[in-house]
Structure 1
Amino acid sequence: MTQPRGTRPGQAGSASKGATRRAAPRREGAPHPKAAPKAGQVRQVGGQGAAGQRRVPPVSARQGAGTGRPAQRPTRPARPERGPENRASAPRHPGGRKPKSLRLGTANPRRRMRVMVWTVLFVFSIFAAQLLRLQGFDAAATSADALSSRTAKVPIPAMRGRILDSQGTVLASSIERRTVTVDQTAVAQYKKSVNGVYQVVGAAGAAADLAPLVGMSAAELTPVLTGHARYRVVAKNITPLNWRKISALGIPGIYSEPTPDRNYPTSTAAASLVGFLRSDGSAGAGVEVMLDKSLSGKDGHTVYEQALDGRVIPTGHQQTTPAVPGRDVKLTINSDLQWFAQNALAQKVIQTNALSGTVVVQNVRTGELLAVASYPTFDPNQPGQSQDNWTNKAFNEVYEPGSTAKVMTASAAIEEGVVSPSTVVEVPNRIRRNGTEFKDSHDHPTEYLTFAGVLAQSSNIGTVLAGEQMKATTLHDYFYRFGLGQTSGMGFPGEGEGLLEPVKDWDGSQRYTIMYGQGVSVNALQATGVFQTIANGGVRIPPRLIADVGDGKGGWVKAEPAKPVRVVSAKTAKTVRDMLEGVVGNEGTAPEAKIPGYRVAGKTGTADRYDPKQGRYSGKTASFIGFAPADDPQLVVSVTLQRPIKGYFGGVVAGPVFRDVMTYALQELKIPPTNTKPPKVRIKEEETPAKDDPTVLRDRKSGGVR
C-alpha cells in the first residue's frame, strides 16, 4: 500500500508567509482530502489566504507525544486585546466589513424539532380557535350569512279587493297578469330542432318564437334578449294563457312575475267616483284612495336557494308566505242609475257648451248616494294625464249656489215664525241696503206675492225682506245645521267644506246676499243635503257612499251610519215641501222639471259664477234640485251646470236633466206614484193690500232687524 506523501520542509515556511500551494491531484491510494493532516501540514478552511489557513503542529510538538499519555489539544493562545491600534492594523474585507468566522458546531436536532412542533401547534391552535368561533359562538350568524348569499326572495303581490255597487255589480276588480323577464346569459343557450337537427339558436331563435306571444316583432325583441344582463323586463300585462304558451317553449332564462292588473268594467260611467290605480300600483283617486288600506291587502313572498347561475336548488330551502288579498268594498251606488245619470249629464254639458256639470241622486231616508256623476270624465283603465277630470266635482268643486239657498232662508223664517206661506210680501223692483242696490233676475213693477210665491218665483227682494227679520247669527246657525261650512265626514279625497264665514266677517251687503245664495259657497253634495233635510221631515242625514266592507272571511261588515241632525221641525219641513211644489207649476220657474204621474217639489238656482283662475265673476251656475214623490219623498236629485253658454237659467238647462234622471230612478227602484193631488199654492195676491195693513211685509226703509 502506497504511503501518503508528506510535506516538504519548504512548504510549511511558505505557508507561514501566506502563500498556499495548490493541492495536487489525488493519486490512486492517496488519502482522502478530509482525512486528518499530518504534522506540519496546513488545512485550508474557508477561502484562500492566511485568514483561511490553520497550521497543525507536528506530532512531536503535541503534548504527551511518545510518552504514553493521552494526547491533548494544544492550548489556544490568548486573543490579543482589541484596541484602537489593533483595530486599525487588522486586515479588512474589500467591502469594508469583516466576514464572520464559520462555526464548526452542529445544530441540535432535538431543539430544532421542539421549535417545529410548537410552531405547528400554535398554528393549529389559531385554526381551532377560529373554528370554535365560527361553529360555536357565531354559528347562527355565519349560517344566516351563508344562506342569505344564496337565497332569492320573490314578492307575491296581493290581489286588490273588488269595488262593487249596491247590487253586487263589479265596478273595479283585479285580474291576474304576468310580467315576463329574461336572464340574457341563459337565453344564449336556447336549443331547438332546425330541419331535424337539434342545435343552439340563441337569442335570435328565442326572439322569433317569443315575439308573437308578447306582441312584439322579432327584430324588436332580439336586442332585449341579447347581452349579459341577469334581469330585464321583456313584456308586461301578459295573460295567464299566453304565459302558459311562453313557458311551453322551454326557453332558458325566460321567467315571469305575477302582477295583478286593475280592471274597471263600467269605464267612464263611475270613473271619478271609483277612482283608478297609477302605473306603480298606487291609488290615484276616488274610493281607491278613500279605502286604500282595506282594498290593498298584504303582499306575500317566496324564498328559495339558488345556484350561482340563478337556477333553483331543488333540495335547497324553500318557503312561501302567501299573499293576503284585500277586502272587497260595497258602495251604495246603483251602477245602472249611475250610468244613466252620467250620460244624461254629458249630453247636456255638450249641448249647452258648459264647462262642467254634476248629478247627485240620494236616498231621502238613509242618506245613501245612489249616483254621483261628474263630467268631463276619463277612462280609469287608461287614466292618462287628464288630472283635472280625475276628481269628482260633486265633492270637491265649490260654488255659490244661488237661489237653491233660499230654501234654507225660507225654512229658518218659517221655523222662527217671522213669516208663513200665506204672508203677503210687497216686492218692488229695487231695494237698497247699506248702500247696495238689490234686484230680482228681471225688472218688474211692484208685485204682491205670497211668501210661497216668493219662493216659487225665486224673488231675491222678497227673500231679503223675510230674511232680514231674523238676526244674522240666527241665519248663520241654520245654514250650518243644514250642513254648510263642513264636510260630510265620509272622508272622500278632495272633498271641500265650502265657505260659510263667521257673522263677524260679513260685510254690509253679504248680510243680505247670503239669504239668496251669494257670498256663501257649497259643493253639490251639501246643496243636495239641504233638500234631503226638507224631504226627510227636517232631519239631515249626512250622505253615505260606503255600504259594507268585507271581513276577509267571505262576510260583510256594515259601515257605521252617520248621525242624524234635526234642523227644523217636521211641520216646518212639510210646509216648505208644499211650497216647493209650486216651483214646478205653471207659475213657477221650472215647469220643465214636471214628471207625469208623480208629484215633484224642487227649486231652481241661477247664480253668478266666481272664476278662481280669472279672479272675478264670469258666467253663471245653473241648477235644479228636487225630490219625488213630493208627498212621500224617496229620492233627491240635484243637477248643476257650470258656465253654460247656450242658456243659463236653472229651470231651462238643469230642469230637463232632473226630469230624465228622476224618471229613470223611480222606475229603476220601482217607486210607484202616490196618486194624490198636489196642494193649491197661492202665488200672487190679486188685490192690492192697504198700505197700512200690518200683515203685509214691506220695505220699511229701516232694513229690518240687523
Structure 2
Amino acid sequence: MVLHLGNPGRRISIGLIAMTFVLSVFAGRLVQLQGLDSKVYMAEAARQRVQEERIPARRGSITDVNGHELALTVEVREIFVDPLEVTPAKRAQVAAMLAAELGKPKEWIAAEIADTGKRYVPIGTVDPIHAQKVLAHGFKGVGSRHEYRRDYPGGDLAGTLIGFVGDDGGGLSGLELVHDKLLAGRDGQQSIETGRDGQRIPMTRSTRRQPVEGRDVRLTIDRDVQWAAQQAIAEQVAETGARTGSVIVMDVQTGQVVAIANAPELDLKDWAKTSAESWVNRAVADVFEPGSTNKVITAAAALESGAVRPETVFTVADDIRCADKVLRDSHPHPTERLTFSGVVATSSNVGTILAAQKVGDEKLHEMLRRFGFGAKPGAGLYREEAGLLPPWKEWSGSQRCTIAYGQGVSVTALQTASVYQTIANGGVRIAPSVVAGTTGADGSLVPAAPAKRTRVVGERTAREVSLMLEAAVSAEGTGNLASIEGYRVAGKTGTAMRYDAACQGYCGYTATFAGFAPADKPRLVVLAVIQDPRKGHYGGEIAAPVFKKVMTFALKSRKIPPTGTEPPAVRIRAGE
C-alpha cells in the first residue's frame, strides 16, 4: 500500500473555518448579552443586588382635651430569623433561646428555622432593650427590625370612640379609621446594594426618602369625666340586667362632647378577641324611639307657635282616642286640669297630644327637623346614624299623636343630647364635635374650625321650656331622682317601648334621662340611655340616677359652682 502525505494547507483551512465558526457563535452570544439583552440582565442583577426597605412613619397620638394620651405609638423591634444563615448544628440552640426570650413555642420556632426556603421569618415583637438582649446571644441569622406598635394606655377608656388599628398599622374603626390619613403620615423608603451574604456593598449607591410622621389629634373628651361616665353606666347596666347603655356629656356653650361612654365598652388592648358588634359606638350608631325626652320638642313647637303658653290649662283624661287607637297616659290618674308646665313636669302623654294638636303635623315635623332629627348630628364619628323622621304627610292616624311624645320617630343618643344642648343654649343649636384640634407641621396645636351654629327657637321659648324642665326635676315631677343638692337642675325622663328586630315588634323598654345644670346658667348637658333593662324600666327610676352621678362628678371636676339662685315657682295644676 502506498501512503500519501496529507495536505497541510487543507488541514489549516479546515481548522481555521472551524475556529471561525466557534468564535462567531461566541461573538453572537456576546453581542446578544452585551448589546440586545443587556438591559434585561442589568435589571435582573440590580433586582438581586438592590434591597428596598420601608421606613415606617410614626403614627400620631390621640389625646384628651388636656393632652393625656389615649392612643399612642411606641417603638418596638421585630425579631426575625434567616433560616439559610442558621447552621443545622445551631438550630436547636437558636430555637431554645428565642422560645425562652420571646415566650413562643420552641417546636414552632424550630420548624420555622428548618424551612430554608424562606429568608425572613418573623418570630415576635419586643421593646428595644429586650431586642438588644436577644441579639447579644450572637447567633448568626437572628436579627431585629425597627417597627412601631399602637398602644392604648386606658384599655377600654373611650374604646368604641377611639377605635383601633390592624396589623398593618391602618385604622379599622372609630377615630383611628375616620382620621387614618391624618394620623398615619407617610412611610419613607430606602434602597441599598447588598452581596450574597446580605451585607451592604461598600461605596455603592443608596437612596432614601424620609418618612413623614403622622399628626396628633386632640379630642374634646375629658379623660376623668369619661372614666366617671363609663363607671356609672356600666354599674347601672349590670344592676338592672340591661342589654346596653350609653352616656353623653356635652358642653352647652360650645357643643363639644366631653364624654361619650357605652356599656359594655371595648377593651382596645384585646379588641381582636371580640365580635364586630362590640366595636360599634352605640351612642351614635344605635337608633331608638326617644319617648318622653322628645316632649321638649313638642313643647318648644307649641310655645314658639304661640298656640300655647306655660300657664295654658288642659283638661287631661287618662286616655285619648287617636284614629282607630286609644292611647293611655304615662301613668293612670283621674281626669285632671294641668297647666302646660304641669303637662311637661308630670310627663303626660295625653296633655302633650292636646298641645301638639294645636300646633299641627306640618309645624311639628318642621320643629323636629330643625332640632336635627332625620339628619346626622355632624360630629363626624364612625358609623354616625341619622335616625328616622317620616314625612308628615305619611304619618298614620295614631302616629299623629304618638310622635308628639316620642314614639314613631327614631334617634341616636347624640341627637337627643343635642336637643337638650339647644334648649340649654338659649335656642341655638351647635353641631356636636369631638375634635378640638390637630398638630401642625411645627408641632403646635391647630384648633378645629368652629362648629356650625343654628338658631332653632327663640330665647324666650328656650327659657320657658327650661323652667318646665326644672319643674320636672322637682318633687312633683317625674325626674326628682336627678336632683343635685345645691344646684338647679333641668331635665326630662323618657320611657319608650323598644322595637326589637329579633321579636319583630316592641319588646322591652328604653329608659332615658336628659338634662342640664346649672339650670339658670347652663354649662353641661348629660344624657343617660339604658336599653332593655330587666329590673325596672322607667327613665326616672333607672336613668335619672346615672345622670345624677355623672353630672355631679362633671360639675365638681370642671369646678362649676352653684349659681346660688332659687328657681321660680311653677304652677303644675289649675287652681294652685
- In structure 2, what is the Cα distance between the partners aligned to 1:284 and 1:261? 15
Structure 1 equivalent of residue 70 of structure 2: 171
Q: Could you tell me how far 1:139 is from its partner in structure 2?
A: 6.2
Secondary structure of the equivalent of 1:325?
Answer: coil
Structure 2 equivalent of residue 283 of structure 1: 171
Q: Could you tell me how far 1:106 is from its partner in structure 2?
A: 8.9
- After superposition, the C-alpha distances for 1:385-421 in whole angstroms (9 at most, x for unaligned) are 2322211110000000000110000001100000000
Of residues 481, 501, 507 in structure 2, which corresponds to 1:612? 501
Structure 1 equivalent of residue 537 of structure 2: 648
Q: Could you tell me how far 1:535 is from its partner in structure 2?
A: 0.6
- In structure 2, what is the Cα distance between the partners aligned to 1:488 and 1:143? 59
Of residues 53, 60, 70 in structure 2, which corresponds to 1:154? 53
Q: Could you tell me how far 1:206 is from its partner in structure 2?
A: 2.3
Name the CA shift for 1:246/1:419 in 2 (closer, same or farther; >3 Å).
Answer: same
Assess if the C-alpha contact under 8 Å between 2:170 and 2:184 holds in 1: no
Structure 1 equivalent of residue 399 of structure 2: 510
Structure 2 equivalent of residue 3 of structure 1: none
Instruction: Say whether residues 1:378 and 2:277 are aligned partners.
Output: no
Name the CA shift for 1:313/1:106 in 2 (closer, same or farther; >3 Å).
Answer: closer
Secondary structure of the equivalent of 2:359?
Answer: coil
Assess if the C-alpha contact under 8 Å between 2:295 and 2:352 holds in 1: yes
Matches within 5 A, 1:139-218: 142-188=41-87, 201-216=89-104, 218=106
- In structure 1, what is the Cα distance between the partners aligned to 2:276 and 2:142? 37
Assess if the C-alpha contact under 8 Å between 1:181 and 1:231 holds in 2: no
Gaps in structure 1 of 5+ consecutive residues: 1-22, 24-32, 35-44, 46-103, 190-200, 688-706
- The alignment yields a C-alpha RMSD, in angstroms, of 2.4
How many equivalent residue pairs?
575
Gaps in structure 2 of 5+ consecutive residues: none
| More off after superposition, 208-217 vs 415-424 | 208-217
Matches within 5 A, 1:214-233: 214-216=102-104, 218=106, 221-233=109-121
Instruction: Say whether residues 1:576 and 2:465 are aligned partners.
Output: yes
Instruction: Say whether residues 1:637 and 2:536 are aligned partners.
Output: no
Q: Could you tell me how far 1:501 is from its partner in structure 2?
A: 0.7
Secondary structure of the equivalent of 1:490?
Answer: coil
Matches within 5 A, 1:45-84: none
Secondary structure of the equivalent of 1:350?
Answer: helix
- After superposition, the C-alpha distances for 1:551-598 in whole angstroms (9 at most, x for unaligned) are 233122222222111110111111111111100101100111111111
Structure 2 equivalent of residue 271 of structure 1: 159
- In structure 2, what is the Cα distance between the partners aligned to 1:532 and 1:270? 21
- After superposition, the C-alpha distances for 1:660-682 in whole angstroms (9 at most, x for unaligned) are 11111111111111101101110
Q: Could you tell me how far 1:611 is from its partner in structure 2?
A: 0.7
- In structure 1, what is the Cα distance between the partners aligned to 2:22 and 2:149? 66
Amino acid at match of 2:529: T
What TM-score does the superposition give when structure 2 sets the normalisation length? 0.94
Q: Could you tell me how far 1:129 is from its partner in structure 2?
A: 4.3
Assess if the C-alpha contact under 8 Å between 1:179 and 1:233 holds in 2: no
- After superposition, the C-alpha distances for 1:494-534 in whole angstroms (9 at most, x for unaligned) are 11110001112211111111000000010000001111001
Amino acid at match of 1:356: T
Structure 2 equivalent of residue 555 of structure 1: 444
Q: Could you tell me how far 1:105 is from its partner in structure 2?
A: 9.1
Assess if the C-alpha contact under 8 Å between 1:332 and 1:369 holds in 2: yes
- In structure 2, what is the Cα distance between the partners aligned to 1:314 and 1:226? 31
Q: Could you tell me how far 1:217 is from its partner in structure 2?
A: 5.9
Structure ranking higher in helix proportion: 2
Q: Could you tell me how far 1:257 is from its partner in structure 2?
A: 2.4
Instruction: Say whether residues 1:395 and 2:284 are aligned partners.
Output: yes
- In structure 1, what is the Cα distance between the partners aligned to 2:119 and 2:126? 18
Larger Rg over CA atoms: 1
Amino acid at match of 2:179: L
Secondary structure of the equivalent of 1:469?
Answer: helix
Of residues 123, 133, 138 in structure 2, which corresponds to 1:250? 138
Q: Could you tell me how far 1:128 is from its partner in structure 2?
A: 6.8
- After superposition, the C-alpha distances for 1:195-247 in whole angstroms (9 at most, x for unaligned) are xxxxxx51122233333221246555433333424335353221111111111
- In structure 2, what is the Cα distance between the partners aligned to 1:170 and 1:187? 42
Structure 2 equivalent of residue 409 of structure 1: 298
Secondary structure of the equivalent of 2:130?
Answer: helix
Q: Could you tell me how far 1:153 is from its partner in structure 2?
A: 2.0
- In structure 1, what is the Cα distance between the partners aligned to 2:40 and 2:442? 39
Q: Could you tell me how far 1:441 is from its partner in structure 2?
A: 1.8
Assess if the C-alpha contact under 8 Å between 1:488 and 1:542 holds in 2: yes
Amino acid at match of 2:283: A
Structure 2 equivalent of residue 457 of structure 1: 346
Amino acid at match of 2:397: G
- After superposition, the C-alpha distances for 1:441-490 in whole angstroms (9 at most, x for unaligned) are 22211100000000000001101111111221111111001010000223
Matches within 5 A, 1:282-681: 282-383=170-271, 384-681=273-570
- After superposition, the C-alpha distances for 1:8-46 in whole angstroms (9 at most, x for unaligned) are xxxxxxxxxxxxxxx8xxxxxxxxx67xxxxxxxxxx9x
Identity %: 44
Q: Could you tell me how far 1:279 is from its partner in structure 2?
A: 3.6
Assess if the C-alpha contact under 8 Å between 1:467 and 1:515 holds in 2: yes
Q: Could you tell me how far 1:293 is from its partner in structure 2?
A: 1.1
Q: Could you tell me how far 1:301 is from its partner in structure 2?
A: 2.9
Secondary structure of the equivalent of 2:192?
Answer: strand
Q: Could you tell me how far 1:333 is from its partner in structure 2?
A: 0.2
Assess if the C-alpha contact under 8 Å between 2:303 and 2:461 holds in 1: yes
What TM-score does the superposition give when structure 1 sets the normalisation length? 0.77
Of residues 35, 41, 45 in structure 2, which corresponds to 1:133? 35
